[in-house]
């Protein structure tokens, strides 16, 4: 039952925020903040529980299975393993930060703003917890509508265009995924006579390589648009730039992660063989994303657009890591998802805070601001360093693990990906250089970060340092889940491999041994 709370609390919180927000703005803000704090407390509570096996491969913290539309084989199945737990925790954390950062930025229709924000978070939680493919799709679509409103009502100059583009891109790709979901549903029904959307039952559905490939492509396009992978990324710069700060934080920090989560949770385990055949192409897309995002980031004048393009680059590492599909790479991927959420989220908040003060995002106008707002300068410098992968901060550990993992799969691609780190250094320092140092173009009389903003930044900094210095708790939480997912992917392949007469199962096993060896060395 506790899992239901992760969806109900934000929904109710949003509704109450809206109802009370019609009378007073602070009420809406406080209600949202409190409901998200409760959610965060619940995640922490669950974290201390001992996960149990038995629901599926891997270790699970909680499970909720009840019927919804039994006539069509649709159930309301939520479950939480380490991966889901980390993602839900990130959702609650960034949610709290988003409410806090919007405290003064949003002044119009405050109640409705928080309704939308909390509904997005409810949808995202649903995506991270659903173990029924139809339910997953339901939440996947559900989170789009409030996001659309968030961009199109509270966004910046070009918001209508950005919002509609975002909506159509994600909706179209989502429908392709729905077709794939229906496809696997019918294939499974034809094999077994059971009509079900349940994730654990659909895992291991055997199908011909061609069917498997096309069904996988439906999922891949949906997740690649969300991630985003080049060439499906064109909605991202617009949506991120035009969204209000909280919208950008949620987009970059959470919505992109749903794409990565989908790849890990659904695409590879459901279609292991097809995923392997796609892996080289997907990894190339990942590397292209890393380099292309970085180069474009460097070319921007608009500070927010720059940060948006860095997301494309960082998510390239995620794509690379997922399709390398080994322990190290996946651990790195999960860590990268969290660290990117925090560091990019923080950068968006800072850009938003800057825009609130100087009413522009154009870097040509900025320059020499360090003297007047030293605290903000220092915080920006910190997150710029995090973003370029400074050792000691979370992003470094994450990207390093991904590169280690992908090195075992492809040396060439890893070498290209590494050059992305160099680009990252350039664009990250470029932000600080152009905005805060250099020629002073104006006499800046602006206020530095307020206490509230400093508090938000404090939490973000602390968590990144923690993830950089002592990532073990997070990796330990994610590891059983990753092992479980890898098991379900290989256990499905084993019969197929035997049928083909070539047992490469041993290869996988020895690889696993090797992986754990390397891990021991690292620690």
Partner 1 sequence: MNLAELYAFSPFIVLSATSIVVMLGIAFYRNHVVTNLVTLLGLAVSFLVLPMVASWIPRQVTPLIIEDRYAFFYSGLILASTFLTAMLSYDYLEKLPGDPEEYYLLLILAAFGSVILVASSHFASFFLGLEILSVSLYALIAYPRGMTRNIEAGIKYLVLAGLSSALLLFGMALVYATTGTMEFARLASQAFDTGGPIFLGGTALIIAGVGFKLAVVPFHMWTPDVYEGAPAPVTGFIATVSKGAMFALLLRYFIGVDVISHRSLFLVFAVISVASMFVGNLLALLQKNVKRILAYSSISHLGYLLVAFLAGGAFRVAAVTYYLVAYFITTLGAFGVITVLSGKEREAEDIEGYQGLAKERPWLAAVFTAMLFSLAGIPLTAGFFAKYYVLLAGVGSALWFLVIIMVINSAIGLYYYLRIIVAMYGHAGEKRHFIEEGMSITGGFVLFVLTSLLVWFGVYPGPLVEFIQKTAALLG
Residue 231 sits at φ, ψ, to 5 deg, of -100, 25
Distance of alpha carbon 283 from alpha carbon 416, whole angstroms: 11
Stretch that binds partner 1, among 90-98, 172-180, 405-413, 487-495 (CB under 8 A): 172-180
CB of 282 to partner 1, least distance (A): 22
Member of 38, 164, 409, 418 binding partner 1 (CB under 8 A): 164
Which residues are 74's β-sheet partners?
A: 69
Estimate to the nearest angstrom the gap between the alpha carbon of 318 and the chain centroid. Answer: 9
Distance of alpha carbon 280 from alpha carbon 320, whole angstroms: 9
Distance of alpha carbon 478 from alpha carbon 283, whole angstroms: 22
Q: 40, 91 in Cβ contact below 8 A?
A: no
Q: 222, 173 in Cβ contact below 8 A?
A: yes
182 near partner 1, rule: CB under 8 A: yes
CB of 153 to partner 1, least distance (A): 6
CB of 356 to partner 1, least distance (A): 21
Residue of 262, 249, 297 whose CA lies nearest to 91: 249
> Within 10 A of 369 (CB to CB), how many other CB atoms are there?
23
CB of 91 to partner 1, least distance (A): 19
Enumerate residues 124-143 that contact partner 1 by CB under 8 A.
138-139, 141-142
Member of 171, 433, 491, 508 binding partner 1 (CB under 8 A): 171
186 near partner 1, rule: CB under 8 A: yes
Distance of alpha carbon 91 from alpha carbon 82, whole angstroms: 14
DSSP notation for 130-181: B-BHHHHHHHHHHTHHHHHHHHHHH--TTHHHHHHHHHHHHHHHHHHHHHHH
User: In the complex with partner 1, which residue's Cβ is closer, 59 or 133?
Assistant: 133
37 near partner 1, rule: CB under 8 A: no
70 near partner 1, rule: CB under 8 A: yes
Member of 41, 53, 72, 281 binding partner 1 (CB under 8 A): 72
Size of interface with partner 1, in residues (CB under 8 A): 31
Residue 455 sits at φ, ψ, to 5 deg, of -65, -45
User: Where is 187: in which H helix or E strand?
Assistant: helix 159-192
Q: 232, 160 in Cβ contact below 8 A?
A: no
Member of 24, 158, 160, 504 binding partner 1 (CB under 8 A): 160
Member of 4, 20, 47, 183 binding partner 1 (CB under 8 A): 183
CB of 174 to partner 1, least distance (A): 9
Secondary structure letter of residue 48 according to DSSP? T
Residue 3 sits at φ, ψ, to 5 deg, of -65, -35
> Within 10 A of 422 (CB to CB), how many other CB atoms are there?
10
Q: In the structure encoding, which two tokens stand for residue 236, read together?
A: 């991202």
117 near partner 1, rule: CB under 8 A: no
CB of 206 to partner 1, least distance (A): 18
Member of 71, 445, 500, 502 binding partner 1 (CB under 8 A): 71
User: In the complex with partner 1, which residue's Cβ is closer, 172 or 194?
Assistant: 172
299 near partner 1, rule: CB under 8 A: no
User: In the complex with partner 1, which residue's Cβ is closer, 138 or 232?
Assistant: 138
CB of 160 to partner 1, least distance (A): 5
User: In the complex with partner 1, which residue's Cβ is closer, 225 or 329?
Assistant: 225
Distance of alpha carbon 363 from alpha carbon 365, whole angstroms: 5
Member of 41, 44, 52, 179 binding partner 1 (CB under 8 A): 179
User: In the complex with partner 1, which residue's Cβ is closer, 144 or 260?
Assistant: 144
144 near partner 1, rule: CB under 8 A: yes
Distance of alpha carbon 86 from alpha carbon 461, whole angstroms: 18
CB of 423 to partner 1, least distance (A): 34
78 near partner 1, rule: CB under 8 A: no
User: In the complex with partner 1, which residue's Cβ is closer, 145 or 454?
Assistant: 145
Q: 17, 116 in Cβ contact below 8 A?
A: no
Residues that bind partner 1 (CB under 8 A): 67-72, 138-139, 141-142, 144-145, 148-149, 152-153, 160, 163-164, 167-168, 171-172, 175-176, 178-179, 182-183, 185-186
């Amino acid at each position: 039952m506790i899992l239901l709370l992760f969806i109900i609390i934000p929904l109710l919180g949003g509704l109450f925020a809206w109802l009370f927000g019609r009378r007073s703005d602070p009420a809406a803000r406080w209600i949202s903040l409190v409901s998200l704090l409760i959610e965060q407390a619940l995640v922490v509570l669950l974290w201390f529980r001992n996960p149990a096996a038995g629901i599926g491969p891997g270790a699970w913290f909680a499970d909720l299975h009840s019927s919804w539309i039994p006539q069509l084989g649709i159930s309301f199945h939520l479950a939480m393993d380490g991966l889901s737990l980390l993602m839900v925790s990130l959702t609650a954390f960034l949610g709290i930060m988003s409410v806090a950062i919007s405290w003064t930025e949003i002044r119009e229709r405050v109640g409705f703003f928080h309704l939308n924000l909390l509904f997005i978070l409810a949808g995202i939680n649903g995506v991270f917890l659903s173990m029924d493919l139809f339910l997953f799709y339901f939440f996947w679509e559900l989170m789009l509508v409030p996001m659309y409103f968030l961009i199109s009502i509270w966004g910046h100059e070009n918001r209508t265009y950005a919002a509609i583009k975002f909506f159509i891109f994600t909706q179209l790709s989502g429908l392709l995924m729905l077709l794939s979901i229906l496809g696997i549903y019918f294939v499974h029904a034809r094999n077994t006579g059971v009509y079900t959307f349940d994730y654990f039952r659909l895992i291991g559905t055997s199908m011909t390589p061609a069917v498997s490939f096309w069904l996988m492509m439906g999922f891949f396009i949906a997740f690649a648009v969300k991630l985003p992978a080049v060439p499906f990324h064109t909605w991202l710069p617009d949506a991120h730039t035009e969204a209000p700060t909280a919208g950008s934080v949620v987009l970059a920090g959470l919505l992109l992660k749903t794409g990565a989560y989908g790849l890990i949770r659904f695409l590879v385990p459901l279609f292991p063989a097809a995923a392997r055949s796609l892996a080289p192409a997907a990894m190339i897309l990942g590397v292209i994303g890393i380099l292309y995002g970085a180069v474009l980031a460097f070319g921007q004048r608009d500070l927010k657009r720059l940060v948006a393009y860095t997301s494309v680059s960082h998510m390239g590492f995620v794509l690379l890591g997922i399709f390398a599909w080994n322990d190290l790479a996946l651990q790195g991927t999960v860590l990268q998802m969290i660290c990117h959420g925090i560091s990019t989220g923080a950068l968006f908040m800072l850009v938003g805070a800057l825009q609130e003060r100087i009413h522009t995002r154009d870097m040509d106008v900025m320059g020499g601001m360090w003297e007047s707002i030293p605290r903000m300068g220092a915080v920006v410098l910190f997150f710029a360093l995090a973003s370029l992968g400074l050792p000691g901060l979370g992003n470094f550990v994450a990207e390093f693990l991904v590169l280690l993992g992908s090195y075992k799969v492809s040396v060439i691609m890893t070498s290209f990906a590494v050059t992305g780190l160099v680009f990252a250094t350039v664009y990250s320092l470029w932000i600080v250089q152009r905005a805060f140092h250099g020629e002073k173009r104006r006499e800046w009389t602006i206020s530095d970060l307020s206490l509230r903003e400093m508090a938000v930044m404090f939490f973000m900094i602390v968590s990144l340092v923690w993830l950089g210095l002592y990532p073990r708790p997070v990796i330990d939480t994610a590891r059983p889940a990753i092992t479980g997912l890898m098991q379900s992917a290989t256990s499905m392949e084993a019969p197929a491999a035997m049928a083909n007469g070539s047992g490469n199962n041993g290869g996988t096993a020895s690889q696993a041994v090797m992986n754990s060896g390397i891990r021991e060395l690292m620690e």
